[in-house]
Amino acid sequence: MSNVQNPLKKVLIICAKGNLEDVYAALVLANGAVMEGIEAKMFFTFFGLDAITKKTMNSLHTATVGNPAMRMPGGLPFPTLLGALPGVEAGVSAMMRSQMDKLDIPPVKEFLEMITAGGGEVFACKLAADMFKLKKEDFTEEVSDIITVGQFYEKCAGEGVQVIFV
């Protein structure tokens, strides 16, 4: 089946993790969709809420423990035990942010602003927000609403829809 016969019209991106690499994967996908004229809706749940919570959105970390894709300089696998040492996660996260700065990748807040300015929508999961005792005022202004999973599923209606779980 070609994309011409069934063009992608809408992406619904679910972000359930709060680590730097997964949050940015979701943001890049949503921003790319908006730039291509595809309707984009983001749903942040569980630890993904860190990406849209004012207190935590600027201090996301790279997962160093249990991350099989982590590599040390030279391509050697990153030892899981090393990631558990104090300061290692902060150092790796700082290095990752530095590399992103060199590529002019915007911070989370700016990315969310770009996505919503382009017509994308950002939602927080009601269940997760209730679990973590978060209210609408705890989230960045780009969050349209706090919704249930059922309300999110309603947004899935239509043809040409793709749900992406990050």
| Residue at 72 is within a domain | no
- Domains held by the chain: number: 1
| Residue at 79 is within a domain | no
Phi, psi angle pair for 123, to nearest 5°: -130, 150
Q: Which pair of structure tokens corresponds to residue 124?
A: 């927080």
Highest mean pLDDT of the ranges 13-17, 76-80, 91-95: 13-17
Q: Give, in order, the Cα–Cα distances in Å from 157 to each of 12, 39, 145, 148, 150.
A: 11, 12, 19, 15, 12
Q: How confident is the model at residue 4 (pLDDT cuts 50, 70, 90)?
A: low
pTM metric for this prediction? 0.86
Q: What pLDDT, in 10s, does the model give residues 45-92?
A: 999 999 999 999 998 988 777 666 777 777 777 766 666 777 777 877
Q: Rounded distance, CA 50 to CA 102, Å?
A: 24
| Residue at 96 is within a domain | yes
Segment (H or E) for 100: helix 88-102
